[in-house]
């Protein structure tokens, strides 16, 4: 039944407990703030405590409910400890949003195998581990849950120098679809959203190099590169009841990159 209450609460994540990984990066920072402003209780995690503390302090001072736990997403012990910290702090886990990641573009002829493995560990293993332990917690709670996984537009379109990154993100897309099959019977949805290039410490230079910037725009119909805040709406949508019948999806949030 489509009632006023139903519609008004469709996009609400008020009171939900969310783990946001990579919370000190440009994307994770924006989504942590977005979830916090939307009324969620946010457990922020990343590898650098000073930046985490700064973020969480700013969130609590603004009236949001937030805490942090330091850890490496590629460490099984750390991931288990982070999920346990969220439960200890807030009693449960309702939303997992993975925003961590690593890229080191380089030709396969020059890249060390260890560099390739680092990307796979950060981008694939880290998602697998968080999904595993957050999933176990969600199943134990006996409640529906939401997994929102950051992938990339590069997951389906390769690029010179991206044999590591594109491969890892392609794996993330298929991992999310498989997780959806594993976890659907428990009321847990799993989806990716797939950004194109957006502003961050690593990409800021692209925004100030007109030749590079214009070259990117040849494949982006919307006419600009992304900003971190461009992805907050998708992250809230995929964490809310509005997306209850969407799972195993790879959602392009890419300015039209995939369609061009």
Residue 260 has pLDDT above 80, yes or no: no
Question: pLDDT tens, 120-165?
Answer: 999 999 999 999 999 999 999 999 999 999 999 999 988 888 899 9
The answer to the question of residue 7 being in a domain is no
pLDDT over 70 for what percent of the chain? 100
Interval 166-184 mean pLDDT = 97
Question: pLDDT tens, 225-236?
Answer: 999 999 999 999
CB 69 within 8 A of CB 90: no
Q: What is the pLDDT of residue 110?
A: 94
Q: How confident is the model at residue 62 (pLDDT cuts 50, 70, 90)?
A: very high
Q: What is the pLDDT of residue 159?
A: 84
CA distance 258 to 119: 23
The answer to the question of residue 28 being in a domain is yes
Q: What is the pLDDT of residue 40?
A: 98
In this structure, what CATH number is given to the domain that contains residue 221?
A: 3.40.50.720
The answer to the question of residue 3 being in a domain is no
Q: What is the pLDDT of residue 212?
A: 87
Count up the domains in the chain and report the number: 1
Q: What does the DSSP assignment read for 205-241?
A: GGGG-HHHHHHHHTT-TTSS-B-GGGGHHHHHHHHSG
The answer to the question of residue 161 being in a domain is yes
Closest by CA to 164, choosing from 152, 176, 175, is: 152
What pTM did the predictor assign? Answer: 0.96
The answer to the question of residue 149 being in a domain is yes
Q: What is the pLDDT of residue 123?
A: 95
Quote the Cα angle for 22-23-28, to 5°. 85
Question: pLDDT tens, 10-51?
Answer: 999 999 999 999 999 999 999 999 999 999 999 999 999 999
Q: Is residue 128 among the annotated active site residues?
A: no
Q: What is the pLDDT of residue 259?
A: 85
Q: Which of 162, 165, 213, 257 is catalytic?
A: 165
Interval 244-253 mean pLDDT = 97
The residue range of the domain holding 243 is: 12-253
The answer to the question of residue 205 being in a domain is yes
CA distance 205 to 192: 27
Which of 43-57, 125-139, 175-189, 204-218 is the least confident region?
204-218
Q: What is the pLDDT of residue 172?
A: 97
């Amino acid at each position: 039944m489509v009632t006023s209450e139903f519609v008004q609460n469709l996009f609400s994540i008020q009171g939900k407990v969310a783990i946001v990984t990579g919370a000190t990066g440009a994307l994770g920072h924006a989504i942590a703030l977005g979830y916090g402003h939307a009324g969620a209780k946010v457990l922020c995690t990343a590898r650098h405590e000073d930046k985490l503390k700064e973020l969480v302090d700013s969130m609590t001072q603004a009236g949001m409910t937030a805490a942090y736990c330091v850890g490496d997403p590629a460490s099984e012990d750390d991931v288990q400890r982070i999920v346990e910290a969220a439960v200890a702090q807030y009693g449960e886990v309702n939303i997992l949003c993975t925003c961590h990641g690593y890229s080191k573009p380089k030709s396969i002829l020059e890249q060390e195998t260890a560099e390739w493995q680092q990307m796979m560990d950060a981008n694939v293993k880290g998602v697998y581990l968080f999904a595993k332990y957050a999933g176990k917690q969600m199943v134990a709670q006996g409640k529906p849950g939401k997994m929102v996984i950051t992938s990339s537009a590069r997951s389906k379109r390769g690029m010179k120098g991206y044999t590591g990154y594109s491969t890892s993100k392609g794996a993330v897309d298929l991992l999310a679809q498989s997780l959806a099959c594993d976890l659907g019977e428990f009321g847990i949805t799993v989806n990716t959203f797939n950004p194109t290039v957006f502003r961050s410490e690593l990409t800021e230079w692209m925004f100030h190099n007109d030749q590079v910037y214009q070259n990117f725009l040849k494949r982006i119909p919307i006419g600009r590169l992304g900003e971190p805040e461009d992805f907050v709406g998708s992250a809230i949508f995929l964490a809310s009841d509005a997306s209850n019948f969407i799972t195993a999806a790879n959602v392009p949030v890419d300015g039209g990159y995939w369609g061009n």
